[in-house]
Chain A
């Protein structure tokens, strides 16, 4: 299986994604420079975390115009698996591949810490290895993860089970106490209507090895690897 990791100027979790999929999960990984206009023979595309274009103006606002994003849109429209982590999620929002927008964290601070998330939909290609309502401990690291969308869109997300992960307390309660950043409806991750594009703020690649003291994130990454086997290989040109 061949996973593409897109490198935007300012991406800084690109190497982490490369390492986890290649060296830990044994997949082929192709680093895709943001100026490339086509995605060839990839079984999944990762938009990694970081500060693309310095997060200047708004997070993800400039990166969405990188040439590669046209190809990512087509790739997603054809059913390819796309995972946006943190800054990758923010880029997917700005690009309109996922609904909503990010506001500054309620505390106005960057927050780097372990949080708990509850798997609200275990039937996606990104969560199939999880049990429904399973609680995962995964770190976040962001200043703009306060998810917002209008009430109509929110109702749609809820109705279609597009809210894949919600922030919760360690024992799985979705409360404001378990919400680190003020995110609407405790949303930590959402997918598109077709279910093949997921954006999430927590970083599963940071907690997928026991030497780092936590491998809950592996469930999400392993789900993706399984999911790729089921989806057909994608090639998207100009």
Chain B
């Protein structure tokens, strides 16, 4: 009498072949609980079935790597016996359904990933994508997501020190919410999710289990359609207060000699945490659901095993240490219970009131899920996208007006409305707050600081996934370097459409190759990451968005640099050269409403030389400010350096060589490998010499002075003033644009 119908199999998002595979593993038909467990573990979200074969190509090793991909988070050595533990995760689908709770629980999840490793979280960054703010729905999504991140992160006492937001209508029905978290741990006290030691007790602690988010993991592996309304009861509600208690309890548990392994219950809850821990140790686990703390009395084994209630953890304690573990959890007012033992037979066996309700080889469930080599092909539309004839586009006439509208466009405008809602100073480490190229937090007890940035220009990625991925890696590293940090590690969150489509898979495969090449070139290992597929609604897919979170080390915290000008009279120096890189630029989008062309040219050797050169200058104390050129090009970078300082606005007078280029390319083109420095006059010669020595193009282009931004272009004959605006006006347009848009609406 089989209870498993074809309908049930389909409802669990399993294919016929996958179901056959389950029968082979078990040697029998699964019962409903087992079917549910397979379905969550073999979902795209948990099993990486479409991405695994490609992710393997990424460079993950390096002298500093303490923990690469495969654990809850990656870890990188920063010396002094310490390491940084970091990861980025997406919570896109839940945030579309319920923006506040979706974003909040996203923060909760990434925090748990980091503190389960034994690290105290010290920084969060958020990377967001929404449709344009001209619709009420998009405004609602953004407000909800931002307050959800604030609500959770602020309460936890972990500062949100940076992030990025890009607006593009392609994200209207599939907004992206990616959150990065970094923690600090002792190198020799990293904890892992392993169920070693037959006989050791398995202990559940944290919140009670409710019927929240059942099938959250399969939902995240599903495209939206008009029926997704019905999936709504799967929304989970976060309780940051409970998570704060969980954090403190975990760190106290880890300080003693009590634990063998520990893992948070994220997607697929009790099922994933137990089978993954067992599988990593080559062991089994026997769970007795009778003891699982629950919010509602009549929950079935199916519900208990699949619930995604937040703020829960599973630990394997050393035998005999149960009581100490329970006491610490109770001190922090947490629910806690011994719910099982480690066994030697490799089986995840689940009992409820004495009867076995599920019995599955742990490794088969955790690691032997399906793996697909999905087909991929260059989509025919790609040619149309890259085909851009700039000769048909008139050059800029009123550069002042264009600069103002770029600064006002929501992607470039200041994100102060957002980050002023985030506590970005708690823990008193924040040396560089949101508003510079990278955030910097000092490491107490050392002279060091850590810089962090999240970056991805997804329009570049859409126009050319391989180039876009390389450009993202380069920009992230450049942002760190401009702060005085050496890039030491990377985490990613790869947001794509439906991998069953060959064009989407093509984007994915090229992205991986681009990341691989760029990371190898810059010698930055990828130590953790996350894949989010099915960001697609009614067949319309997002731009490929491989969000990167890169971490850099500053050996001497007092050599940290920010992007804004410091003093009247300083030189303004440009490193790098302009080309005609208008393809995929913010300028073309804002002024010409075109998202077309080839993304900017990137030469990795030039990029690396630039990084080494800038770092050496900063370390030698020659630099007052450093800012990379990205969205909006050189004119926007200069404006940002003039107006983004915390205390005052400073003007600049600059002359740029026009050469044979178009004016708009010089002002707003997004040529890569460029940095705007400011420096005291005494350092001019040393800066010029050290750049020339390593072949980095360098020019003194002007000086910090007055209260206007004045830019002239020097053609064949004489210089022509093309931009001349009071910095206060630039500031007003840029700083309050988002606030105005939200309030006027």
A interface with B by C-beta (< 8 Å): 9-10, 12-13, 15-16, 19-20, 23, 49-51, 53-56, 109-114, 139, 141, 203, 205-206, 209, 211-213
Contacts and interface: CB of A to CB of B under 8 A. Distances in A.
A55 B646 contact: no
A111 B416 CA distance: 11
Interface residues of B, number: 32
A38 B22 CA distance: 61
State the 6 A-B residue pairs at the shortest beta-carbon distance, nearest first.
Answer: A12-B157, A54-B241, A51-B155, A141-B423, A16-B428, A112-B423
Contacts of A19: 428, 444
Interface string B137-151: 000000000010011
B241 A56 contact: yes
Interface of B: 147, 150-151, 154-157, 239-242, 244-245, 332-333, 419-428, 430-431, 442, 444, 557-558, 646
A110 B442 CA distance: 25
B241 A10 contact: yes
A10 B420 contact: no
Contact of B426 (A13, A20, A54): A13
A50 B245 contact: no
Given A9-B241, A54-B155, A206 B428 contact: yes
Contact of A211 (B333, B420, B423, B557): B557
Given A13-B157, A110-B150, A211 B558 contact: yes
Contacts of B419: 112
Contacts of B239: 54
Nearest to B155: A51
A51 B154 contact: yes
A144 to B, nearest CB: 12
B442 A211 contact: yes
17 contacts: A10-B245, A12-B157, A12-B244, A16-B427, A19-B428, A50-B157, A51-B157, A109-B420, A110-B150, A110-B421, A111-B420, A111-B421, A112-B154, A112-B419, A112-B422, A212-B428, A213-B646
B442 A112 contact: no
A56 B155 CA distance: 11
Nearest to B151: A110
Most chain-A Cβ atoms within 10 A of its Cβ — which of B150, B241, B333, B425? Answer: B425
A212 B155 contact: no
B646 A114 contact: yes
A212 B431 contact: yes
B501 to A, nearest CB: 41
A49 B241 CA distance: 14
B428 A9 contact: no
Contacts of A209: 428
Contacts of A12: 155-157, 244, 426
A55 B241 CA distance: 8
A27 B155 CA distance: 28
Contacts of B558: 211
Contacts of A110: 147, 150-151, 154, 421-423
Contacts of B333: 9
A112 B427 contact: no
Given A51-B154, A54-B155, A205 B241 contact: no
A211 B431 contact: yes
Given A54-B241, A55-B155, A110-B150, A15 B427 contact: yes
